[in-house]
Structure 1
Amino acid sequence: MRLLIMGPQGVGKGTQAALLAAHYDIPAISTGDIFRYNIKNKTPLGLEALSYTDKGELVPDELTNSIVKDRLGQDDAVDGWILDGYPRNAAQVAALDAMLAELGQKLDAVVALEAPHDVLLERMAKRAQEQGRSDDTPEVIAKRLETYAKETAPLLDIYRERGLLVAVDGVGEIDEISDTIIAKLDATVKAR
């Protein structure tokens, strides 16, 4: 099973990605984790990423694409994966399409978790409090949600047109949401 998990910050992507990974016995791949791993281990890609992040700059798409491609090519990802945090824009969608073609793989589905704006704000404020995350201020949270709505949410239409989108309400009990995702995925993938 090869999946993308998408949705705004605070919707529970990381939590659901971990549960889906365990259920389908595939790795959950977070682009943030990939960056941290490469930077920590001083890989060539990590050092290149560090040259941008040290200056407070965003890592360019080309480098992000290279890091994702490298990760998807690793042995544990041969039979499937869940990507969390990628793609984030239309150029990355095209890059992912090219990667999959090169690897001889296809995307099975795109899980889109949805939640009302006020729920997302409440969850992120709670996370900031519990985890002591100084980067989760109300202003930063609002900016992240605005960026998601402008740049990433439109990608859902691309995947909807391809017949890959599986939309799920991200509000409720974690296990119930996970069960709903799995039921929808199994029905969608088997229907093809």
Structure 2
Amino acid sequence: MLNLVLFGPPGAGKGTQSAKLIEKYNLVHISTGDLFRMHIKEDTELGKRVKQILADGLLVPDSVTIDMLEEEVKKNPQANGFIFDGFPRTVAQAEALDVFLTKNGEKINGVVQLDVTEEEIKNRIAERKKISGRADDDEDKLLKRIDEYFSKTIHVLPYYEKQGKVASVNGIGEIDNIFNGICAAIDAVK
């Protein structure tokens, strides 16, 4: 089984690249952001709890996120592997993911960090907002999410670097060139 973490700030291209990776490696994509948006849209109890937290541009508590993620993994017992997008965002989440996967005889094979400048991120999200109309792409919320990434989430990388699992890929350029860089990093850990 191939389990990957796709790592990068909001707007780095994780969703775009995940779609291509799913097709090439036949993986199941688990985006915590997509899951939260689905729960909000369906007005579930989780959706109601998460809606205000996301509206404020903050991170959902680890326990809620981890429970939701484990539920998604269990829904796909025949998967060839998973792409974790937007998770883990804290060291505690990374540790919990390792414990969960180990209990199931699995592990994170690699972490691909998409390296993108803050200016590029802002430009991409401005374009994405025109197309998708996502509420979390509001400029004030975006700045909070970028700040959360660089003040909190970025600290997850050393956790995986100590395990020798991080590959940094330039996330600026043509989509296919970025994809080829990601595939080279993945093929090195398969």
- Structure showing greater radius of gyration is 1
Unaligned ranges ≥5, structure 2: 54-58
Task: Please name the residue that 1:124 is paired with.
Answer: 125
Unaligned ranges ≥5, structure 1: none
SS of the aligned residue for 2:137 comes to: coil
Which letter does structure 2 place at the counterpart of 1:52?
Answer: R
After TM superposition, give the deviation of residue 90 of structure 1 in Å.
Answer: 1.3
Question: Aligned partners of 2:174 and 2:145: how far apart in 1?
Answer: 24
* 1:28 matched to 2:25: no
TM-score between the two structures when normalised by the length of structure 1: 0.87
Q: 1:106 to 1:169 in 2, by over 3 A?
A: same
How many pairs are equivalent? 184
Task: Please name the residue that 1:87 is paired with.
Answer: 88
Percent of aligned positions that are identical: 37
Question: Aligned partners of 2:89 and 2:27: how far apart in 1?
Answer: 22
Question: Aligned partners of 1:91 and 1:140: how far apart in 2?
Answer: 24
Q: 1:77 to 1:90 in 2, by over 3 A?
A: farther
1:1-192 superposed matches below 5 A: 1-38=2-39, 46-47=44-45, 49-53=46-50, 56-57=52-53, 59-75=60-76, 78-189=79-190
Question: Aligned partners of 2:38 and 2:177: how far apart in 1?
Answer: 31
Q: Please tell me whether the aligned partners of residues 26 and 80 of structure 2 are also in contact (alpha carbons under 8 angstroms).
A: no
Question: Aligned partners of 1:99 and 1:139: how far apart in 2?
Answer: 35
Q: Deviations over 1:160-183 (max 9, x none)?
A: 111000110000111111111101
SS of the aligned residue for 2:186 comes to: helix
SS of the aligned residue for 1:153 comes to: helix
After TM superposition, give the deviation of residue 156 of structure 1 in Å.
Answer: 0.9
SS of the aligned residue for 1:92 comes to: helix
After TM superposition, give the deviation of residue 140 of structure 1 in Å.
Answer: 2.1
Question: Aligned partners of 2:40 and 2:141: how far apart in 1?
Answer: 24
Q: 1:20 to 1:76 in 2, by over 3 A?
A: farther
After TM superposition, give the deviation of residue 39 of structure 1 in Å.
Answer: 5.6
After TM superposition, give the deviation of residue 93 of structure 1 in Å.
Answer: 1.0
Q: 1:90 to 1:77 in 2, by over 3 A?
A: farther
Question: Aligned partners of 1:119 and 1:185: how far apart in 2?
Answer: 24
